[in-house]
Amino acid sequence: MKHPTANKTLRQKVVWHLLILAGAVVISSLFSLAIAQKLIHPGTLSMLVLTFLQLELFLWIGYLFFYGVKPDAPGVVKSTLIRFVLFYLSVMVIAVIVFLALFTYHFSRTGAGFSEFIPSLIHSDFKSFLTAAGIGFAIGALFFFYTQWYDAVKRTQKLKQEKLIFQYETLKSQVNPHFLFNSLNTLSSLIRKDVELSEQFILKLSSVYRYVLENQDKDLVPVENELAFVKDFFSLQQVRDQEKIELQIDSNGAGSEKIIPVSLQMLVENALKHNKASRNEPLRITIHYEGLDKMVVRNNLQEKDQLGPKSGIGLKNLDERCKLILDRGIELMKNEDEFVVKLPVQAEKNEDSNC
């Protein structure tokens, strides 16, 4: 599990740690006033450093417990309460351990015998510490829970919106009249020339639609399933364009990885849509597993002349979905010779969503 600042930029990380430091200053000041009746005393600096380190640790623990909470999941109330209780108990235990460690250190420096340890602990500020820590951590836990819950709700709502856009764009791409016209026109000519090939064409066409309809509501699908779908989709295009377009797939290394459905196909279709292809200058598309949790789609650049600017909606939506589901966006690279897109994938063992 990642630290709460794992996906933030350097500037955001600095601001985040400064906020934690400010919180440590406030908490240390309150403890100083409660225990020593003054803000500055010999133990102020050590208390500030200790409080800062504890806050960093507690926020990380809180992230472990609360990250990934799905507000619309079955039994979310019960599971959230259990997480909250476990989080509160965890930070209290750690706080007590830290207090006892510090007390033991200072007690050992007094030179007193071990028999005096418990009486000294009883007469120390241990009770006051437990009371203050209990109240403080309860308030802190509630606040942290609220912020994580609010963030989870926002992520869920945004993911639903992006999914609706994605579903619309995907279905529009696959069911638009142009795609159907080309497919049916190709099928019509095949029936007259090659009955066996026309049957294969029908099977692959139905497979393409079935895959889209079965997986449009899923967050992730196995990479091997997506590649099989891409092969079927591309073969439909290749029946018409034949030697004008080429596709090479190398999935070596991609074992149990999962990927956003219809993402690879969208990139392949994007290449077909925006690039010229001829027998003398075929459009070459390659897909391969990079070995760094990414599937790479690249094509030689032979851009068509267009009257207006490209909308880029498909790539923007795909990037947003990757960020929401996988915490990583897509990577785009373009030069004079080729266009490359790197899609993040996720290993099955790290996935805890219902896909």
Order across the sheet with 245-250: list the strands: 245-250, 283-289, 294-300, 338-344, 331-334
**CA 18/CA 13 separation, integer angstroms:** 9
Give the list of residues 6+ apart from residue 336 with CB closer than 8 angstroms, or none. 301
Q: What is the pLDDT of residues 74-95, one digit of tens each?
A: 666 677 677 777 877 887 787 7
Q: Does the pLDDT value for residue 197 go beyond 90?
A: no
**CA 226/CA 331 separation, integer angstroms:** 19
Choices 2.90.10.10, 3.30.565.10, 2.40.430.10, 3.60.15.10: CATH for 176-350: 3.30.565.10
Q: Between residues 129 and 266, which one has the greater pLDDT?
A: 266
Q: What is the pLDDT of residues 242-279, one digit of tens each?
A: 889 999 999 887 778 999 988 999 899 889 989 999 99
What residue spans define the domains of the chain?
10-150, 176-350
Q: 157 and 206 in contact (C-beta within 8 Å)?
A: no
In terms of Cβ atoms closer than 10 Å to its own Cβ (0-12, 13-18, 19+), residue 231 is middle
Please give the model's pTM, rounded to 2 decimal places. 0.55
- Residue 7 corresponds to which tokens in the numbers above? 């996906």
Using pLDDT thresholds of 50, 70 and 90, give the confidence band for residue 285: very high
Q: What is the pLDDT of residues 13-61, one digit of tens each?
A: 788 778 878 877 887 777 677 666 777 766 677 767 777 777 777 777 7
pLDDT at 348: 64
What percent of the chain clears pLDDT 90, i.e. is strictly above it? 19
What percent of the chain clears pLDDT 70, i.e. is strictly above it? 71
Residue 129's identity, in one-letter code, is: F
* Greatest pairwise CA separation for the chain in angstroms: 102
C-beta atoms surrounding 296 within 10 Å: 19
pLDDT at 49: 77
pLDDT at 67: 63
Q: Does the pLDDT value for residue 226 go beyond 90?
A: yes
Least confident window among 4-8, 212-216, 243-247, 317-321 = 4-8
At 32 the three-state DSSP class reads: helix
pLDDT at 277: 92
Closest CA to 286 of 275, 299, 302: 299
Give the mean model confidence (pLDDT) for residues 341-347: 91
Average pLDDT, the chain: 77
pLDDT at 176: 52
pLDDT at 264: 93
pLDDT at 55: 74
pLDDT at 350: 44
Give the mean model confidence (pLDDT) for residues 176-184: 67
Using pLDDT thresholds of 50, 70 and 90, give the confidence band for residue 166: low
pLDDT at 309: 58
**CA 253/CA 213 separation, integer angstroms:** 28
Most confident of 132-136, 214-218, 330-334: 330-334
Q: Between residues 355 and 2, which one has the greater pLDDT?
A: 2
Q: Between residues 24 and 201, which one has the greater pLDDT?
A: 201
Q: Between residues 121 and 231, which one has the greater pLDDT?
A: 231
